[in-house]
Chains A and B, each alone.
Chain A
Amino acid sequence: MPFSIVAQIAVSGALMGLVYALVAYGFQLTYATSKSINFGQGELVMVSAFVSLSLIDLGLPYWAVVPLGLLFGALLGLAVERAAVRLALEQKSEGWILLTIITGLFLFSAAENVWGRDDRPFPTPIPSAPIHLLGVDVTGLEISVAVGVLAVMGLVELFKRRTLLGKAFEAVSADRDAGELMGISATRTVMLSYALSGGVAALAGILVSPITTVGPTMASAMILKAFSVAVVAGLESGFGVVVVGLFLGALEGLASLYIGSGWREAPGLALLILALAVRPTGVFGKAVIRKV
């Protein structure tokens, strides 16, 4: 196997890995404020992509669809928070795991019936012709994925550090009760995190659709890998998900090259179980001291 092909597959895989990192980042956002994640996040990615596609079908230009798609994702995130998460958090139970699975199931079925079960192409003005870079071919689409992912994660991190609202977000993440005592509404902060997470999911959908096509099952494999990335990296470190996302994406490409394409998901899944066994808080997570 010539090295150039291996490098090519690793690079393409790593760039796809950034999409997993983006979805995993969405998990981190909600985990920070509420210690909960949306198990139906893949359906958010998929439904947002479908809605964006419908908007394009209506004749809206791509660059107008992107913000609308993000807005829709954010609204969907808020809906999930209201329907599936808030009650469980108020009762301090883990009912949100089941309820977010249920909302995901509902969205999946609804999408199947509204948009059909077939995969459809997602038109984009970004050129898909390959560019030769340092010995490997990279398409414009892949570059747009990388730029989009890193830009949005950077913006959200900037928002968290530089704005008052963002600092409120950080305060609730650090200590919910103390934040509430300082006059920050934890409920609103959790809502904000779900809206951000939904927007991030929508962006992942819009970025990846031109490459993978849009269909009800487009996110079911992706979401497993996003879980792997989030867990292996730990649910706290934004930097960690990028590193692990790149690594896992490359690993996946190489696995399908060497073991067979049916096995492409296996390394990520095995890695997840292993990572949990060795370091339950993730490679980039902090260890917790038990207190009684």
Chain B
Amino acid sequence: MLKRLLLVRGAEIALFALLAALPLWVQSSYALGLLTLLAIYGILLIGLDVTVGYLGQVNLAQAAFLGLGAYVAGIGATRFGLGIPATLLLSCGFTTLVGALLALPALRLDGPQFALATLSFTALCSTALNEMEWLTNGAQGLSITRPPLLGHLLTPRDFFWVCLALLALTWVMMRNLLSSQWGRAFEALRDSPIATDAMGVGTYRHKVAAFAFGSGLGGIAGALYAFNFQYLQPQSYVYELTVVLLLGVVLGGRKSLWGAVVGAALVALLPNLLSNPVLFRAFAVIGFAMAAIAAVRGLVRRSTRPFQALAPVVATGALVLGSFLQKNTEDWRKAIFALMLFSVVVGLPEGLMGFAAGALARLFRVAPPPLPPAASLDEVLPARATTGEPLLEVRALHRHFGGVKAVDGVDLTVRAGTIHGLIGPNGSGKSTLVNVVSGLYTPTSGELLLRGLPLPRGSLLQASRAGVARTFQNLQLFTGMTTLENVMVALRGAYRLPLPLVLAGFGRPEERRAQAEALALLALVGLEAEARTPVMDLTYGAQRFLEMARALARKPELLILDEPAAGLAHPDVVRQVEVIRRIHARGVTIVLIEHHMDVVTSLCDVVTVLDGGRVIAEGPPDQVKREPRVIAAYLGATAAEPDGPGPVAGAPAAG
């Protein structure tokens, strides 16, 4: 614990102390300018990393927010005589607002469409800054005098310290934010938006918030940028800069504050580096040597694909050749940048700091902070009284896809405290039915009631908040997180602290409590020993159990299990039956879709059989199994023999 504190926090303090002390030695105004730019870009890239690293989206709008922030500050200072604190707040507020507005349409998108929307926004902003001459002075540029701060005239060195202090503040606040439920929510919606909604977290709110945060930081950086250069031109904030910034984040390492600052240093220093041929040659040769060593190692161990090993060697080789043959490296700046980035993106996808962090972690073996003891299950999942009253009522429910009537007039009543089986051959409408109940699909017509009150329709989030939790037939885990974090994302009622306090670092006790609660749920499904395991490394069976623990974190009244035993080995099936019994014992009502008839028979109080989107039978499992219509549905016979051999018992039926 102490070692961790010393190393991790110590390194951060050392970094900032070093940066703060540098101007005491370095007197040249040029070097000071570079340091200031580094601090400004640091803030900018930390903001960009929220969307690029945590949301996993290619965001090409950050240069536009830098420009907007710079112009707001510049206009505020020149036209309205505002001081530095006021302009910083104004820039930050304005860009946060614009970011949120842009996120409203962009939040429905991902992948290339999101990249295109943000790229268009950048182009639009640069057009607007250029053309709104009455406000921005257009292409002629806007000259600004740096206002004094609290009555002091700032020397360049003072201004650097101001920027550095803001970078440190940003660093601390983002660390607090990203290690809280907010950070987990950002990552969760990257991995599975559907599950994020189904776990009651709300992709909408968090995506907008993440983007707005990043934009707001862009605005702060923009204001500082304006006061640093004291001259603004619209063409500074175009496509090229936005690409350079994006690549700075990737180069430094995504999802890492260190990575953002390292990336900022590279972006700020690179032009300088390229104009010095000796320095550039040295860097090219070092890069080539590293790529070559990595390639040989990767190929010998067969741990990388040939392309991944060789392409960086070719790219860095071209850099070395170029550095010796080409005199005027400044002209080839973009090409050099492109080659460097290509090598890093292909050969070192986690970026420089991602790579370094891995190496350092192996070297120092810093243990993660210990987990609190698990909470008592009675606190986390208080036993409910089982009344036997109707909990979920489905009336005349229809869901059509074009001409396909997937659910065609289903009536169903699930009583509180029961385990209600839902069976039927493939394509009978079971999954569609639970997708409608859980809010993934909007019903075409019909009524859904939970405890006699209408259940929100067509919204996973609202249904989840109303008390319906579910697992997914095709696993929808948050694959970039650990087992414990998956459960923590979904915990209901665990996070009440308002955002400003989270930013200020008061979220620790809440986190500990959430960890304790999540551990209790993991213990319920027998995964407490895997709390720290990345989900990717869990066995398939364990992932199925984790889905159940995560759904229970919603503390639901109604738990829908969609084929929880699909693909499980026999011992796991036996264990799962045991786990479902334990969950049931807490008074949670369960709807179970299952093909293993022995599981259904041993667990369910009532079974409803669907075929062709309609209910064809309902009753206790043993009775339903003997119904001629059920046997016919499973075997496809036109008329079943009255004393059929009970074909659906035992083995998994019909796939």
Residues in A80-110 with C-beta less than 8 Å from chain B? 83, 86-87, 90, 94-95, 97-99, 101-103, 105-106, 108-110
Q: In whole angstroms, what is the CA distance A219 to B454 when docked? A: 55
Given A224-B120, A224-B123, A292-B440: A36 and B335 interface contact (C-beta under 8 Å): no
By the criterion CB–CB under 8 Å, are A231 and B116 in contact?
yes
By the criterion CB–CB under 8 Å, are B106 and A109 in contact?
no
CB closest chain-A residue, reference B338 = A106
Contacts of A270 in B (CB 8 A): 124
B377-407 contact mask (Cβ, 8 Å, vs A): 1 or 0: 0000000000000000000000001000000
Stretch of A55-63, A191-199, A243-251, A260-268 at the chain-chain interface: A260-268
Q: Nearest Cβ in chain A — how far from B46, in angstroms?
A: 19
By the criterion CB–CB under 8 Å, are A228 and B120 in contact?
yes
Let me know if B4 is at the binding interface, CB within 8 A. Answer: no
Taking each of A98, A113, A290, which has the highest tally of chain B beta carbons within 10 Å of its own beta carbon? A98
By the criterion CB–CB under 8 Å, are B250 and A113 in contact?
no
Q: In whole angstroms, what is the CA distance A239 to B334 when docked? A: 37
Q: Which of B109, B239, B333, B473 is in CB contact (< 8 Å) with A280?
A: B109
B122-135 contact mask (Cβ, 8 Å, vs A): 1 or 0: 01100110110000
Let me know if A25 is at the binding interface, CB within 8 A. Answer: no
Contacts of A290 in B (CB 8 A): 194, 440
By the criterion CB–CB under 8 Å, are A36 and B109 in contact?
no
By the criterion CB–CB under 8 Å, are A98 and B250 in contact?
yes
Let me know if B71 is at the binding interface, CB within 8 A. Answer: no
By the criterion CB–CB under 8 Å, are A292 and B194 in contact?
yes
By the criterion CB–CB under 8 Å, are B342 and A102 in contact?
yes
Contacts of B130 in A (CB 8 A): 262
Contacts of A113 in B (CB 8 A): 331-332, 335
Q: In whole angstroms, what is the CA distance A98 to B59 when docked? A: 10
A260-292 contact mask (Cβ, 8 Å, vs B): 1 or 0: 101101100110111011101000000001101
Stretch of B303-311, B421-429, B513-521 at the chain-chain interface: B303-311
By the criterion CB–CB under 8 Å, are B127 and A99 in contact?
no
Q: How large is the interface on B (under 10, 10 to 19, 20 to 34, 35 or more residues)?
A: 35 or more
Q: In whole angstroms, what is the CA distance A228 to B124 when docked? A: 12
Given A280-B113, A292-B476: A273 and B105 interface contact (C-beta under 8 Å): yes
Let me know if B112 is at the binding interface, CB within 8 A. Answer: yes
Let me know if A112 is at the binding interface, CB within 8 A. Answer: yes
Q: In whole angstroms, what is the CA distance A245 to B571 when docked? A: 60
Let me know if A207 is at the binding interface, CB within 8 A. Answer: no
Q: Which of B113, B239, B335, B440 is in CB contact (< 8 Å) with A220?
A: B239
| Contacts between chains A and B (CB distance < 8 A), count | 129
Q: Which of B121, B338, B435 is in CB contact (< 8 Å) with A102?
A: B338
Contacts of A87 in B (CB 8 A): 305, 307-308, 311, 346
Q: In whole angstroms, what is the CA distance A39 to B102 when docked? A: 21
Q: In whole angstroms, what is the CA distance A292 to B58 when docked? A: 25
Contacts of B246 in A (CB 8 A): 98, 101
Taking each of B106, B120, B250, B401, which has the highest tally of chain A beta carbons within 10 Å of its own beta carbon? B120
Residues in A94-144 with C-beta less than 8 Å from chain B? 94-95, 97-99, 101-103, 105-106, 108-110, 112-113
Q: Nearest Cβ in chain A — how far from B440, in angstroms?
A: 7
Q: Taking beta carbons and an 8 Å cutoff, which residues of A are in contact with B?
A: 36-37, 39, 83, 86-87, 90, 94-95, 97-99, 101-103, 105-106, 108-110, 112-113, 220, 224, 227-228, 231, 260, 262-263, 265-266, 269-270, 272-274, 276-278, 280, 289-290, 292
Could you name 23 residue pairs across A and B whose Cβ atoms are closer than 8 Å?
Answer: A36-B112, A87-B308, A90-B305, A94-B58, A95-B349, A97-B111, A97-B115, A98-B58, A98-B246, A99-B345, A105-B334, A106-B342, A108-B334, A109-B332, A109-B335, A109-B338, A224-B119, A228-B120, A263-B131, A265-B127, A269-B124, A290-B194, A292-B435
Q: A109-B333, A112-B331 are in contact. List 6 more A-B contacts (CB 8 A).
A: A94-B58, A98-B341, A263-B131, A276-B109, A276-B117, A280-B109
